[in-house]
Amino acid sequence: MRFPAVALALISFATLSAAQQAAEWNYFGKTGPLGWGKLDPAYKTCSNGHEQSPLDIRGAHLNKSLQPIEFHYLAGTETLENNGRTIIVHVNPGSYIEAGGKRYNLIQYEFRTPSEEAVKGKLTDMSVQFLHKSDDGQMAILAVRLAENQDAPNAVLATLFSQLPRKAGETTKITDLVNPGGLIPADHSYWTYMGSLTTPPCTEGVRWFVFQQPVTLSRTQLRNYTSLFRMNTRPLQDSHGRQIEASQ
C-alpha cells in the first residue's frame, strides 16, 4: 500500500537547524511549547497547524492492508550531540527503511523523557524518535517508547548513554559499532498517522509510525539521561479528526 502523497516544502535538516536558530526556544517558561508559535513567524505552524504531533494513540482503526516496515539499518560509528535540549545521534549514511512502498533514509535519532507519544493517555519513561527523509523530501518519524525495567537493560543504550556529552554544544564520537536496529522492538506492529515535527518550526506533512510494543531500558540508563534532561517533551496535540491506523 502506498500512503497518499503529501505536498510539503523540501526541507533538509540543515535548513531545519537554521530555522531553529531564528528564535530561541525551550521546554520551559516563556520560550516553552505553549509559546512557540509566537516566538518567530517561522514557528506559526506550532500554534496554527491542524496536523501537529505528538498524539494520544486511542481509537485506532485496524488496516489489514498496511505492510510491515522493512528495516535496512547498518552498524557503524555514530556521533552524539548535546544541543542543550536533547541528545541527537548522528548516523553514517546508508541506513534506511521502506514503508508504504517508499524508501526513507535514516538521518538521525534523538531521545525524549518522558515519552512524547501516549497510548490511551499513558506515557512511558522515555522514547526514541528516528527521523527519516526520502529523496523527494518527504519525512517519516519512527517512535519507540522506552519503559524502565531494571532486569532488562538495552545494549545500544549501554553504549550510547555511557558516553553522553554532558554540556550543551559538546559532541562525543562513538568508536564502537552501533546498530540503531537494537532499539527497535521485536514486534514490528505499529500505529500510523500524518503529523508534524515536535519541535519548531513544527513542520507538518510528516508520516508517523509509533511502535505498539515498548522497549526496555534499565534504571541506570534512564538516570544517565534524566541527569541531563529531566523533561524535554511537547504536550499532546489535538487530533483535529485525524484517523490513526493500526497494522496487524
Range of the domain at 22: 13-246
Query: Tell me, what's the pLDDT at 15?
Result: 40
Q: Does 3 map to a domain?
A: no
| CATH label of the domain that carries residue 40 | 3.10.200.10
Neighbouring residues of 83: CB distance < 8 A, sequence distance ≥ 6: 168, 169
Q: How far is it, in rounded angstroms, from Cα 99 to Cα 236?
A: 25
The structure's pTM equals: 0.90
Q: Is 60 part of any domain?
A: yes
Domain assignment present for residue 97? The answer is yes
Total Cβ atoms within 10 A of residue 22: 14
CB 156 within 8 A of CB 182: yes
In a domain, residue 5? The reply is: no
138 domain residue, yes or no? yes
Domain count, the chain: 1
* pLDDT confidence of residue 22: 76
Q: What is the mean pLDDT of each run of 10 residues along the chain (248 residues)?
A: 37 42 90 97 97 97 97 97 98 97 97 98 98 97 97 95 97 96 97 98 98 97 96 98 96
Residues 6+ apart with CB under 8 A from 203: 8, 9, 11, 16, 45, 139, 196, 197
CA torsion sign, 110 to 112 to 212 to 59? negative
Please tell me the predicted confidence (pLDDT) of residue 21. 58
Residue 7 inside a domain? The answer is: no
Q: Is residue 33 part of a domain?
A: yes
10 Å Cβ neighbour count for 62?
A: 9
Cis amide linkage into residue 54, ω under 30° from 0 = yes
Please tell me the distance from the alpha carbon of residue 105 to that of residue 116, in angstroms, as a whole number: 23
Q: Looking up cell 524535554, which residue turns up?
A: 232
* Residue whose C-alpha is closest to residue 148's, from 166, 180, 123: 123
In this structure, is residue 2 part of a structural domain?
no
